Structure formats: structure tokens, C-alpha cells
Amino acid sequence: MAEIVHVPLDGGRAYDIHIGAGLLTNVGEVVNGVARSNRAVIVSQPPIAKHYAKTVADSLVAAGFDAPDVVLFPAGERYKTHRTLEKLYGALYELRPAIDRKTLLVALGGGVVGDVVGFLAATYLRGLDYVQVPTTLLAMVDSSVGGKTGIDYRAGKNLIGAFHQPRAVFADTATLRTLPVRELQAGSAEVIKYGVIRLPRLIDDVIASSEFGTICGPRYPHAVLSGAIRRSCEIKAEVVTRDEYETTGLRAILNFGHTIGHAVEAATNYRRYKHGEAVAIGMIAAACIGEVAGVTPPQVRDDVRRAVFNAKLPSALPDDVSDDALIALLGRDKKSENGAPKFVLARALGDVVSGVAVEESAIREGLAMQRAKYTAEGVPS
């Protein structure tokens, strides 16, 4: 049984997020209702296409689509570049018969596929429709929803991009069975984030999941997993609907843990940590900094830390990255204004305040607190 979360955008751009096990076989049927022609192109990466491209293609054909072309690019954040994009433009250009503006792109994969294909769809032929078929937990609860698309540029993550909403999202939770455990754990950091910013019971779901291995392990109750994904999507959908282009400050709450998290990722050249792992460290940092700033009660820090620890995510700042290095990187964050970093701080579990300018001395004190309290246990090898 699929669960559906509606994203009510204006101008005919509303779309549904479908969540459930085994949904890939229904993609064609649902896509039929939103596609403007019988032509679809699946864009994916080899490790994902190997498992799932045929199921999606068969479902499109069964629903009356022409046999879809499948275009692949290599897996890894390092391929989220204009070089990949250039190759994908070339691959689309070479397809015969030629594709047109009514052709639908199907982004089958994790956040990298979703971001790249979304941007491809935003730009090729001045804009194609696309659907997201997220296959990582992170993509299901976060990146596939909300229409932010883009690529990395030089040292900057997502520096080039566009807002371009998908026509539908299909989160088939059965695809998580082939996802490496470390990726599952990293994705659960974003679920914890939704718990902190809106719905504390998500934190309980993640904490409970440690008894079962991971939130997506075979023994973890499926209803709890799909419920956690649905609730995460509901929060993201609500925030995106009210602040689609990040102008009112509301969408910024999704960045809880990301201010220091992004600095940690950049300082370690995006190699050492998965995004969610850096966000876990950043959420502990935000709790410590919030505590120093007099906003966050110590109990909230303990709760966040317990969830992070249970999800087997790291809490400690990397020993070989100095506070000076992190603070220097904060000014370059896309979300900073005139070089001054803005923080999302928790007042309670489920209640955060965004756009808080914190004195550098308080940031330093918060980082010192984190370094003193949390040492390297849980750091990925």
C-alpha cells in the first residue's frame, strides 16, 4: 500500500510523493497521468540501474510508453559536475528519434542523480518535465522533494543550480535493501533533523531502530520505516510549499546542523564523511552552540546526541580540523549573509529558530564544548 504526500504548489505544479515497498512496478501507471508524451528517458548510475532500471522501464512500457532509453553516468559526488552534465546533454542530443520538450526524464537514484537530472531537466531544451525515483534514504526524505537541483563547482557544493520541481516522486522503500548500511545511517541523520525541527517522535523512531540494526534493516518494522519517511516528507513538503524559493527564512530551518556540517565536509574535502555524517556532527555542534548562546537546553543536546549515537553516526568534530579552519569556512556558506554565518538553533525538540547570528566567541565556546564532551567514538573508519 502506497502512502501519498501531496505537495500543493501553485501554477499547476502540485505533485505527489508516493511511498511504499514495491512501488517501482507502478511508476508507469502513475507517470501516465503526468507525462505529456509517451517518451521517457531513465537517467541513473550503474550500481542502481543494475538492480532497478529494468523494473522501471517495464512498468513504463506496460503503461503504454515507448521503450525508454537508459542513460548512465558514474556514481559518486565527484561526478556531480559540469563535465557530467555536458556528457548528459550530449547523450540526450544523440538519442534517436530526437527527444522534444514533452519528453519526461526519470531520475533513478540517490541525491546525486536527483540533483544532476533535475538540473538537466531544468536546462535542456529550456526545461523538461522529470520525476524523481529516489533509491537512498537521504534522497527519499530530503533531496527528491522540493525542487532544488544543481551541480558542484570547484570547491563549492551545489553552487550552480536551479529550482525545478519534479512532476512526481516515487520512494520505493524496497530499494533500500541494496543500499550500503553506511548510506542508510547517513540518511537517518536527516530524519533526526526533522525530529529536532518539527516532530520529536521521529527521533524516537531512529533511536528505536538501533535495536534492529538500522532504520532500514530487515528486522525493522516496515510500517515504522515508511511512516518515518512519510512524516519526513510531510515536513519537507510543508516547509517547501510555504517558502519555495527560500525567501522568508522558513526553508532555512531545514538547515539545522548544516552550518557546521557543511564546514566539516568542506574542511575534509568532501571525502571523509558522507553528507549525513557531517550533518550529525553539525547537529551536535548546533546544540552546543545553542547552549552557549542561551537558546538550547542541555537536555536537547543529550537527546540529539543519543539519537546520533544510536544511529551509529559520529558526534565528534574531526581532531585534525581546527576551529579556525571551520570558522573561516562558515563565511563561505551559501546561507551566510555578508560573510556572517547564520545558525538554526533548537529551543526545544521540535522547535527551532533560524537566522540566528551568533558571536564568533560563542561559536568557539560551543565548538570547545563539543570537543571536550564528545571524542572519536562512532567516527567512520
Ligand X SMILES: NC(=O)c1ccc[n+]([C@@H]2O[C@H](COP(=O)([O-])OP(=O)(O)OC[C@H]3O[C@@H](n4cnc5c(N)ncnc54)[C@H](O)[C@@H]3O)[C@@H](O)[C@H]2O)c1
Residue 346 backbone phi and psi in degrees, to 5 = -90, 130
How many residues make contact with ligand X (CB under 6 A)?
A: 28
**Interface with ligand X includes 333 (CB under 6 A)?**
no
List, in sequence order, every residue forming a beta bridge with 346; answer none if it has no partner: 352
Catalytic residue of the set 157, 275, 301, 305: 275
Report whether 92 contacts 124 (CB < 8 A): yes
Q: What is the footprint of ligand X within residues 353-372 (CB under 6 A)?
A: none
Report the distance separating Cα 313 and Cα 323, nearest Å.
21
**Interface with ligand X includes 268 (CB under 6 A)?**
no
Decide the pairing of beta strands 148-153 and 156-163: antiparallel
Nearer to ligand X, 84 or 103 (CB): 84
Report the distance separating Cα 117 and Cα 115, nearest Å.
6
Catalytic residue of the set 157, 258, 274, 342: 258
Residue 41 backbone phi and psi in degrees, to 5 = -125, 125
Catalytic residue of the set 3, 18, 80, 255: 255
**Interface with ligand X includes 199 (CB under 6 A)?**
no
Catalytic residue flag (residue 148): yes
Q: What is the SS3 assignment for 78? A: helix
Nearer to ligand X, 193 or 305 (CB): 193
Catalytic residue of the set 167, 198, 236, 305: 236
How far, CA to CA in Å, does 156 sit from each of 280, 304, 360? 20, 28, 23
How far, CA to CA in Å, does 247 sit from each of 16, 95, 139, 244, 357? 23, 39, 23, 8, 17
**Interface with ligand X includes 139 (CB under 6 A)?**
yes
User: Count of CB atoms within 10 A of residue 122's CB?
Assistant: 19
Selected from 103, 135, 173, 259, the binder of ligand X by CB under 6 A is 135
Nearer to ligand X, 103 or 135 (CB): 135
As measured in angstroms, the least distance from the Cβ of 96 to ligand X is: 28
How many residues would you count in the chain? Answer: 381
Q: Which helix (H) or strand (E) element contains residue 93?
A: helix 82-94
Report the distance separating Cα 137 and Cα 194, nearest Å.
13
Residue nearest to ligand X (CB): 111
Nearer to ligand X, 51 or 371 (CB): 51
**Interface with ligand X includes 277 (CB under 6 A)?**
no
Q: What is the footprint of ligand X within residues 216-245 (CB under 6 A)?
A: none
Catalytic residue of the set 148, 167, 230, 305: 148
**Interface with ligand X includes 158 (CB under 6 A)?**
yes
**In the complex, which residues of this chain contact ligand X (CB under 6 A)?**
45, 47-48, 51, 75, 77, 80, 109-113, 115, 135-136, 138-139, 142-143, 146, 148, 157-158, 175, 178-179, 183, 275
Give the residue numbers annotated as catalytic, written as ranges: 126, 148, 190, 236, 246, 251, 255, 258, 262, 275
